[in-house]
Amino acid sequence: MKVAFACDHAGFALKEAVIAHLKEMGHEVVDFGCYTPERVDYPAQGEKAARAVASGECALGVLICGTGIGISLAANRVHGIRAAVCSESYSAELTRRHNDANMIAFGARVVGEGTACAILDAFFGAKFEGGRHAQRVAMLDEIRP
């Protein structure tokens, strides 16, 4: 699966481990930066990856900033994106199963490498259940900024 990845400077230190884990899982990663630990603005990074997911260029996306919150807010401004911030595996699994989230975000200042990889395993291992959840996801998709 083709996966969009983006981070800001706060997420840069965790970037290599996350991308390596995604590749070990068999995914192709499209890296939208950042590419150095120099300060960058998370809205620009989050938007790039979100547009790749929204357009269908990438199937899912992974976002990292200090808390995961800012970069997920930027991604969620792109129509068709459902980015969820998760700090543990259970929420990561349920956001795929119930919300059909197409991007996962977490904070490099909140989770370590092991937890980040466990979050990825849960998120990418889960599938949307549809059923009663499909109507709610459709309602989310109708909301426009």
Which residues are marked as active site?
65, 98
If 0-12 CB within 10 Å is exposed, 13-18 middle and 19+ buried, where does residue 16 land? Answer: exposed
- What is the four-CA torsion angle of 20, 17, 71, 126, rounded to 10 degrees? 60
Q: Which of 70, 14, 18, 84 is nearest to 40 (CA)?
A: 70
